[in-house]
Amino acid sequence: MTIGICDYGIGGVSLYKQLQTFSDVDVVYFSDTGVPPYGKLPDSELRPRVQQVVQHLFDQGCELVAIACNAASTASPDHPDVINMIEFGVKAVETVSPTSLGIVGGYRTIESEIYKRPLSTTIAEIHQEVGQALSVRIEAGDLDSEGMTADLKRIFEPLKNCDAILLACTHYPVLIDQINMIIPKVQLIDPMNRMVEAIRKRYPDMNGNNSTRWITSGSVEKMRVAAKKAFDVDLETIEYTEL
């Protein structure tokens, strides 16, 4: 079996790592950094782009495509073999049932209110913060500079009185230790675990050759450096495409 992972950058490597712990499923990973950040693209541009990437993954033989990017998930195509982050993020928050919730994500995720709208029916107090700067730094291989620390404080300190914070970007979990130092009493919610559980439930007997193809529309070297620094994954061979 082959699973496709779609992300703007390398945040979805967290999904890849978890899949590797319990299966030998084949993976095709597409990083689309050759276009402007998904979080800054209007719907009229993002929706057809996500559709194009998803179709490309199906063309590579993928039987399931997981959109491991919250911004891309706001423009996810309606397809039975495509899953995205939004439903898992909502379910993860509902399981925690906080009285007050913080949501941190990219521009598009926050401005679309794709999480806030459904969650506001049961959570009275929801605060949102744009964390676009964090994913930009992680993609550049910057995880622990003074600038990163300053950005983390600026984004997360206003949420210190929330019961829980939804990490609405697959980049952010690599910063959990640093975030906990800033707001140690707030529960951090990573919806990726629920996506993994859903895939495992849908395909209980995932078989493959344990092969992985890494594809990017952007810089091969930047992808290699970012994946190593953020997730300690060595990407030996990365294919470049002008999709």
Q: List the domains of the chain with CATH numbers.
A: 2-84+193-240 (3.40.50.1860), 86-191 (3.40.50.1860)
Quote the pLDDT of residue 215: 98
Per residue in 19-32, pLDDT (tens digit) is 999 999 999 999 99
Between 66 and 40, the more confident residue is: 66
Number of other residues whose CB lies within 10 A of the CB of residue 233: 18
C-alpha 138: how far from its chain's center?
A: 12
For the segment 213-239, the average pLDDT, to the nearest whole number, is 96
Quote the pLDDT of residue 114: 96
Crossing angle of the two packed helices 132-139 and 220-231, in degrees rounded to 10: 110
Number of other residues whose CB lies within 10 A of the CB of residue 50: 26
Per residue in 34-61, pLDDT (tens digit) is 999 998 899 999 999 999 999 999 999 9
**How far is residue 29's CA from residue 169's CA, in Å, rounded to a whole number?**
17
Q: Which residue from 197, 243, 196, 202 is spatially nearest to 63, judged by alpha carbons?
A: 202
Q: Please, what is the end-to-end C-alpha distance for the chain in angstroms?
A: 24
Whole-prediction pTM: 0.94
Per residue in 159-188, pLDDT (tens digit) is 999 999 999 999 999 999 999 999 999 999
Quote the pLDDT of residue 40: 86
Percent of the chain whose predicted confidence (pLDDT) is above 70: 100
Number of other residues whose CB lies within 10 A of the CB of residue 117: 11
Quote the pLDDT of residue 100: 97
Quote the pLDDT of residue 82: 98
Per residue in 103-140, pLDDT (tens digit) is 999 999 999 999 999 999 999 999 999 999 999 999 99
C-alpha 141: how far from its chain's center?
A: 16
Cβ-Cβ contacts under 8 Å for 133 (sequence gap 6 or more) = 151, 155
Collapsing DSSP states into helix, strand and coil, what is residue 206?
Answer: coil
The tokens of 119 are what? 């969650």
The tokens of 192 are what? 């990726």
Q: Does 150 score more than 90 pLDDT?
A: yes
For the segment 147-154, the average pLDDT, to the nearest whole number, is 98
Rounded to 5°, angle at Cα 15 from 92 and 24: 125
Q: Does 236 score more than 90 pLDDT?
A: no
DSSP secondary structure letters along 89-150: HHHHHHHH--SEEEEEE-HHHHHTTTTHHHHTTT-SEEEEEE-HHHHHHHHTT-SSSHHHHH
